[in-house]
Chains A and B, each alone.
Chain A
Amino acid sequence: MFLDSFPQIQSFLHFVYYLDSERILHYFWSFIVIDLPRYVLLDFLILFVYIPMRGIRRKRNRVARTELFHDRPLVSVLVPGKNEGKHIPRLAESMQHQTYSNIELIIVDDGSDDNTPFVCNHLKKKGLIDHFIRNEESGGKASAANTALYYARGRFIIHLDADAHLNNDAIERIILPFFVDPSIGMVGGDVRVRNDTDSITTRLQAIEYMKGISVGRTIASMLGMLRIVSGAFGAFRTDVLRELNGWDVGPGLDGDITLKFRNLGWRIYHEPTAVCYTHVPDTPRKLAKQRVRWDRSIIRFRGRKHSGILKASKNFRVLDFTAVAENIFSNVFLNILWWIYVFQIVFMDSEFLGRIVIINYILYFITNVIAYTIAMILSEETLHRNHYALLWFLPLMPFYIGVYLRVVRTYAYLSEFFNRASYHDPWNPWKVSQAAKKDGL
């Protein structure tokens, strides 16, 4: 027989053939119990609930659009940043092409030491920037965003990263939900990767963003469990943001402000058609640095600062509890379980290690293909050629999500849990981190 000359393949097929349900559960419980429901089953909600309701949403949006253009409320676009001068001209120019034009653009320069002040002053003279505030000393992202908020006059606030590039209808799209449902306090835009063709790292992130933000946040929004609105492109009701006195010191201020909105009872919504493209790290090293910062905020904010949501109190709400608990469960607890699983297959099932890894790879690859296909169906209206080209990189996703990001996440959790490392992150000025640490914030 042909297979007789390949004993390893024969042995692998033999292993597969004799897998019964008990052994499947024993060898692949991590996939079956943890990842299959999270990454695939929930995604089917898009296919069977979200997409079939498109017609109803369009109808509601039409009514809301009429109201929006009748009221024409001022929208304040806040762009806090440091050394972002090179991105500002394109951003300011893109504001000129928005379908919704009653916008004020507020740029806060958080102590830049490059040519940002010169660039922004020039754009202000040209009338492309409404307010340019130059802070001589860097105070961190939250301080810069709060400074911008102080000057804002709009009924709605949009927080934008300086390197963001918006679709021409993005501002209109992200504001519409406020007119569809008055209980919505905060809307997240669909952040996608702009520099996806730069490297393999950026391509993998492009797939991850499509799956995680476009699909993941749409589902979380549907279930009322959205717990983060990206700072790269998020919209807020100004009155609520002012009531909360703006953002707290980060890192992770996006998730923090979202939870504060939830605490006040406001609905958080994700709008997948409000598309914003952002610049992502182009090397694994830079990516790890960024993700460590993000992941540490899970411990610092969910685990410490907002632990009250998990406790019984008069403000207790099941959805808030579920959103935070799910966040901690899926990120921290499941990460621990994953290491237990790795330990099990390396040390206890080492005899079949190679076969288990291959089968796991195939399962995760199929999962990724399904999830990305759903993401493409969801984003049908805003897809372009690059999104199809990304299909070739799906075989790398099991290593990227399944191994690389998990290792980075584990390092971030451990360093934050034991060392409170986020307080030493140079992302925030030292003086700010020390003040926050002193008060345990």
Chain B
Amino acid sequence: MAVTSFLLLSQNPDKIVADGGEVCTIEELDTQKAIDSYFFVLDGDDKDSAIEMLRFIRSHPNTKIYLKPVVLGAGVAQQDTILSAAVDAVSHTNETSFPISEEQEELINKIVATQSYQQKITSILGQQQISLRILRFISSRKHIEQVPIMTPELLTGHSYPMLEQFFDSVDESIWKMLELLKNQHLLEGRFISKAYHCTHCESAFLNFMETCPDCKSANIKSDELVHHFRCGHAAAMQDFRTGDILVCPKCQQGLKHIGVDYDKPSLVFSCNDCQHVFAEPVPTTKCYRCGRRTNPEDQIQRTVYAYKISALGANVALFGQEQLFTKLLKENLDFMDNAGFQRVIVLEKSRVERYAISTSCVLVIDIKGLADALVELGERGLGFYKDLVNAFVETLRKSDILTVVGRSAVTILLTETNEEGAHLVLERLMENIEHIFEQSLSIPSNAMGKVIPVNNELNMNQLALSLSS
């Protein structure tokens, strides 16, 4: 594959020549061209505009744009460690040598991976939750671990360079989001470090001090506690010091050999401000940003992880948390989209009315709390969904047609089935669902079901609502 088609984004497009690609500003960026190009190149001569352009790409609503690889062109912007780490690759050639050559295998692999990933994603437009965008981004770069970089430039002290571009401001919200996704087992975290953050302003820049327990002053000094074996006297080393030698103030004997006539069993601290003598100074922290003093144990202690996508997260990234169940149903049953299903219902209504020799029913089952169950079960969530889908597979016939209305209301057309038969099917399904909830979550299911005969009164638009009535 000849990878030559790229878009070079620059605030000064006239000054740059891009062989094999096009040069434009953000304002001039054509969405279709952006979708068609293999990757973006950012003008490396201007750091601030490079950051702005990167943020623009990552915040674009179109999946085929925000997932696209970004290369940082040669220039002063590459001196910014975080910006260099935030893009997929940096070019070490000068601006006239664009496009990126085929030898840059790593980038090509990324392009191929993201392209094929984009093709898997069905829903590419519209407002997507930031969590889903992050999952998709990490999933599209599944071989890259999102490793935090320590930096004094950010309040949080650590930067996730590639992910920060998805957020409006660089603050603790990225931490909270990643922790949430990890708790939902959508991301896997590898321990990197622990970090204390100010409980008042979330700053990671804290001054740890040892202070006097009485007056809280940091003006303290430590000395060794000396124990004289002969007379049992114990006091600070300074009490024993007489010129260059050590003499016991109690028995006036000289101390000669440590371990033979004296030892130093512990440390003793004293305060230069209030003269208080104590065994253990009180650790305290002072925030460089807000200046508040707080006990270390009262500060926020965060675990710093490097993140990568989990198996469950990869599925959720492709289909969305709610659509995962629908996707599994589609794979295993005769599934129709809503429009098709409505057409079949219209036909069925006409058939039943015209011949009046058979009856059909529609079954609506709404299983509440599916997304919560996924979070609760973590890695076992996928198995739980599959069990639920199996319950439908085992109960339904080949001739039954199925669709999903709303988030979790499964609607099934049971052809040639009277109300009594439909109730039997419903009962069996509800029993199976109940059993799966009990087994997996140890809680009763929150599923509701209803049987509606197919006749003239049947209104498809009210099917989902009919459950709550």
Q: What is the minimal beta-carbon distance from A363 to any residue of chain B, in angstroms? A: 44
State A350–B236 Cα separation when bound (angstroms).
Answer: 65
| Chain A residues in 8 Å Cβ range of B229 | 139, 143, 249, 431-432, 434-436
- The verdict on B386 contacting chain A, using a C-beta distance below 8 Å, is no
Q: Which 7 A-B pairs have the closest CB atoms?
A: A142-B232, A135-B265, A435-B229, A245-B250, A146-B234, A147-B234, A133-B279
**B69-108 CB contact bits vs A (8 Å, 1 = yes)?**
0000000000000000000000000000000000000000
B234 and A139 form a contact (CB under 8 A): yes
B263 and A245 form a contact (CB under 8 A): no
Task: Name A436's contact: one of B230, B278, B279 (CB within 8 Å).
Answer: B230
State A150–B236 Cα separation when bound (angstroms).
Answer: 9
Chain B's closest residue to A253 (CB) is: B232
State A439–B261 Cα separation when bound (angstroms).
Answer: 11
State A143–B277 Cα separation when bound (angstroms).
Answer: 18
A139 and B231 form a contact (CB under 8 A): no
Interface residues of B in 297-337 (CB under 8 A from A): none
State A434–B261 Cα separation when bound (angstroms).
Answer: 9
Q: Which of B234, B235, B268 has the most CB of A within 10 A?
A: B234
A139 and B233 form a contact (CB under 8 A): no
**25 chain-A/chain-B pairs, Cβ below 8 angstroms:** A111-B265, A132-B279, A132-B280, A133-B225, A133-B266, A134-B266, A135-B265, A135-B266, A139-B229, A143-B232, A145-B232, A150-B235, A150-B236, A150-B268, A151-B279, A246-B234, A248-B232, A249-B232, A253-B232, A431-B229, A432-B229, A435-B229, A436-B229, A441-B230, A441-B231
**B258-281 CB contact bits vs A (8 Å, 1 = yes)?**
011101011010000000111110
State A136–B230 Cα separation when bound (angstroms).
Answer: 19
Q: What is the minimal beta-carbon distance from A79 to any residue of chain B, in angstroms? A: 14
A245 and B236 form a contact (CB under 8 A): no
A131 and B278 form a contact (CB under 8 A): yes
Chain B's closest residue to A141 (CB) is: B232
B250 and A143 form a contact (CB under 8 A): no
State A248–B225 Cα separation when bound (angstroms).
Answer: 17
7 additional A-B residue pairs with CB within 8 Å, beyond A131-B278, A135-B266, A436-B229? A132-B279, A135-B265, A143-B234, A147-B234, A245-B250, A246-B234, A439-B253
A435 and B230 form a contact (CB under 8 A): yes
Chain A's closest residue to B277 (CB) is: A151
Interface residues of A in 114-149 (CB under 8 A from B): 124, 131-137, 139-140, 142-143, 145-147, 149
A150 and B277 form a contact (CB under 8 A): yes
A432 and B225 form a contact (CB under 8 A): no
| Chain B residues in 8 Å Cβ range of A142 | 232
State A435–B256 Cα separation when bound (angstroms).
Answer: 12
Q: What is the minimal beta-carbon distance from A255 to any residue of chain B, in angstroms? A: 15
Task: Name B225's contact: one of A147, A249, A431, A438 (CB within 8 Å).
Answer: A147
- The verdict on A156 contacting chain B, using a C-beta distance below 8 Å, is no
A249 and B230 form a contact (CB under 8 A): yes
State A27–B38 Cα separation when bound (angstroms).
Answer: 121
B263 and A137 form a contact (CB under 8 A): yes
Chain B's closest residue to A429 (CB) is: B229
* A246 and B233 in contact, given A132-B280, A151-B279 (Cβ under 8 angstroms): yes
* A146 and B233 in contact, given A131-B278, A435-B261 (Cβ under 8 angstroms): yes
| Chain B residues in 8 Å Cβ range of A245 | 231, 233, 249-250
State A111–B266 Cα separation when bound (angstroms).
Answer: 10
State A369–B47 Cα separation when bound (angstroms).
Answer: 99
State A55–B189 Cα separation when bound (angstroms).
Answer: 76
| Chain A residues in 8 Å Cβ range of B279 | 131-134, 151
Task: Name A249's contact: one of B231, B235, B276 (CB within 8 Å).
Answer: B231
State A86–B182 Cα separation when bound (angstroms).
Answer: 41
Task: Name A151's contact: one of B250, B261, B278 (CB within 8 Å).
Answer: B278
Q: What is the minimal beta-carbon distance from A81 to any residue of chain B, in angstroms? A: 14
Report the count of interface residues on A (CB-CB < 8 A).
Answer: 34
State A147–B235 Cα separation when bound (angstroms).
Answer: 7
Chain B's closest residue to A134 (CB) is: B266
State A253–B233 Cα separation when bound (angstroms).
Answer: 13
| Chain B residues in 8 Å Cβ range of A441 | 230-231
Task: Name A139's contact: one of B236, B263, B276, B277 (CB within 8 Å).
Answer: B263
Q: What is the minimal beta-carbon distance from B395 to any residue of chain A, in angstroms? A: 57
| Chain A residues in 8 Å Cβ range of B110 | none
- The verdict on B227 contacting chain A, using a C-beta distance below 8 Å, is yes
State A151–B271 Cα separation when bound (angstroms).
Answer: 13
| Chain B residues in 8 Å Cβ range of A146 | 227, 232-235
| Chain B residues in 8 Å Cβ range of A145 | 232
Q: Which of B227, B232, B263, B280 has the most CB of A within 10 A?
A: B232
| Chain B residues in 8 Å Cβ range of A100 | none
State A432–B262 Cα separation when bound (angstroms).
Answer: 9
- The verdict on A247 contacting chain B, using a C-beta distance below 8 Å, is yes
State A432–B265 Cα separation when bound (angstroms).
Answer: 13
State A415–B98 Cα separation when bound (angstroms).
Answer: 98
Q: What is the minimal beta-carbon distance from B357 to any residue of chain A, in angstroms? A: 81
Chain A's closest residue to B232 (CB) is: A142
Q: What is the minimal beta-carbon distance from A130 to any residue of chain B, in angstroms? A: 9
| Chain B residues in 8 Å Cβ range of A432 | 229, 232
| Chain B residues in 8 Å Cβ range of A140 | 232
Q: What is the minimal beta-carbon distance from A54 to any residue of chain B, in angstroms? A: 40
State A149–B280 Cα separation when bound (angstroms).
Answer: 16
State A135–B264 Cα separation when bound (angstroms).
Answer: 9
Q: What is the minimal beta-carbon distance from A51 to any residue of chain B, in angstroms? A: 40
Interface residues of B in 186-232 (CB under 8 A from A): 225, 227, 229-232
State A439–B260 Cα separation when bound (angstroms).
Answer: 13
Chain B's closest residue to A110 (CB) is: B265
| Chain A residues in 8 Å Cβ range of B249 | 245
Q: Which of A132, A134, A149, A432 has the most CB of B within 10 A?
A: A432
State A441–B250 Cα separation when bound (angstroms).
Answer: 14
Chain B's closest residue to A432 (CB) is: B229
| Chain A residues in 8 Å Cβ range of B261 | 435
B232 and A136 form a contact (CB under 8 A): no
A136 and B265 form a contact (CB under 8 A): yes
| Chain B residues in 8 Å Cβ range of A247 | 232
Q: What is the minimal beta-carbon distance from A432 to any residue of chain B, in angstroms? A: 5
Chain A's closest residue to B262 (CB) is: A435
| Chain A residues in 8 Å Cβ range of B250 | 245-246
State A132–B267 Cα separation when bound (angstroms).
Answer: 12
| Chain A residues in 8 Å Cβ range of B231 | 245, 248-249, 441
| Chain B residues in 8 Å Cβ range of A133 | 225, 266, 279
| Chain B residues in 8 Å Cβ range of A124 | 280
A137 and B265 form a contact (CB under 8 A): yes
Q: What is the minimal beta-carbon distance from B211 to any residue of chain A, in angstroms? A: 16
B236 and A439 form a contact (CB under 8 A): no
State A313–B233 Cα separation when bound (angstroms).
Answer: 27
* A136 and B266 in contact, given A245-B233, A431-B229 (Cβ under 8 angstroms): yes
Chain B's closest residue to A121 (CB) is: B280
State A163–B142 Cα separation when bound (angstroms).
Answer: 62
A143 and B236 form a contact (CB under 8 A): no
Q: What is the minimal beta-carbon distance from A321 to any residue of chain B, in angstroms? A: 25
Interface residues of A in 232-269 (CB under 8 A from B): 245-249, 253
State A147–B232 Cα separation when bound (angstroms).
Answer: 9
A139 and B265 form a contact (CB under 8 A): yes
State A249–B248 Cα separation when bound (angstroms).
Answer: 14
| Chain A residues in 8 Å Cβ range of B266 | 133-136, 147
Q: What is the minimal beta-carbon distance from B265 to any residue of chain A, in angstroms? A: 3
Chain A's closest residue to B248 (CB) is: A245
B230 and A139 form a contact (CB under 8 A): no
State A139–B279 Cα separation when bound (angstroms).
Answer: 17
State A249–B261 Cα separation when bound (angstroms).
Answer: 13
Chain A's closest residue to B250 (CB) is: A245
Chain A's closest residue to B263 (CB) is: A137
Task: Name A147's contact: one of B227, B230, B253, B276 (CB within 8 Å).
Answer: B227
Q: What is the minimal beta-carbon distance from A148 to any residue of chain B, in angstroms? A: 9
Q: What is the minimal beta-carbon distance from B231 to any residue of chain A, in angstroms? A: 6
State A132–B280 Cα separation when bound (angstroms).
Answer: 8
| Chain B residues in 8 Å Cβ range of A246 | 232-234, 250
| Chain B residues in 8 Å Cβ range of A438 | 230
| Chain A residues in 8 Å Cβ range of B233 | 146, 245-246
